A = this chain, B = another copy of it.
Amino acid sequence: MRVLGIDPGLTRCGIGVIDVDAARRTSLVHVGVARSPQNLATHFRLAQIGDAIDEAIATYKPEVVAIERVFAQSNLQSVTTTMQVMGAAMLCAGRAGLPLAVHTPSEVKAAITGSGTAGKAQVQHMVARILGLEKAPKPADAADALAVAICHAWRGTGLQGARADGNINVSLSGGVSARGSMTEAQKQWADALATTRRKGAVDPRVQGRR
């Protein structure tokens, strides 16, 4: 399965494409960031971001699009803008006839690091580990786009389009370990986590127990 992950943003919109095989092994296909100049009117910036998403869909032909859901934050203007980018991105996926999944930031963090409250650096680190990259993709928006794609692939939520709200939003019950027997991807994840621990990075699951 090929997944296009999008981390919506107007100044930087992360776009990542991964392949996932039947054993849930993941590999990097493409990662990048669509940018739009801050001195341009918002609707022209949205058009530029939309064009970049269309291009990624046309070039890499994903089977599904996964977007990170934005939540209300302290900055209302920022939320408004990001919601608009999300709308533009969803329109692109819709016009391409692709199924779409929306995952919350905590779902993404939990799928990637084991903790729904993991920091950005930790997510970036794990994304690099999972995809076998030497370094974490930069900027954070690029890594976040890959993270939501991996999250979607690993959580294994099926295609949608029939559900009235159009969003897949399955609740996370116990993280990856709840999946039953350990798959290749889980081993991959466990190995990556072990490496992280060996290097002295904090395992998110033991934070607060020190």
Expressed in whole angstroms, the Cα–Cα distance for A166 and B51 within the complex equals 18
Which B residues touch A162, using CB under 8 A? 39, 41
Dominant secondary structure at the A interface: helix
User: How many copies of the shown chain assemble into the complex?
Assistant: 2
Which A residues fall within an 8 A CB radius of B?
A: 38-48, 50-51, 65, 72, 76, 80, 83-88, 90-91, 93-95, 99-100, 160-167
User: Could you tell me if B84 and A44 are in contact, using CB atoms closer than 8 angstroms?
Assistant: no
Q: Which of B40, B46, B51, B100 contacts A90 (CB 8 A)?
A: B46
> What's the nearest-Cβ distance from chain B to residue A43, in Å?
4
Expressed in whole angstroms, the Cα–Cα distance for A166 and B100 within the complex equals 29
Which B residues touch A99, using CB under 8 A? 41
Expressed in whole angstroms, the Cα–Cα distance for A167 and B10 within the complex equals 15
Minimum CB distance partner of A46 in chain B: B91
Minimum CB distance partner of A38 in chain B: B164
User: Could you tell me if A42 and B166 are in contact, using CB atoms closer than 8 angstroms?
Assistant: yes
Expressed in whole angstroms, the Cα–Cα distance for A75 and B47 within the complex equals 28
User: Could you tell me if B72 and A161 are in contact, using CB atoms closer than 8 angstroms?
Assistant: no
User: Could you tell me if B84 and A76 are in contact, using CB atoms closer than 8 angstroms?
Assistant: no
> What's the nearest-Cβ distance from chain B to residue A49, in Å?
8
Expressed in whole angstroms, the Cα–Cα distance for A43 and B159 within the complex equals 13
User: Could you tell me if A87 and B83 are in contact, using CB atoms closer than 8 angstroms?
Assistant: yes
Expressed in whole angstroms, the Cα–Cα distance for A41 and B90 within the complex equals 10
User: Could you tell me if A42 and B165 are in contact, using CB atoms closer than 8 angstroms?
Assistant: yes
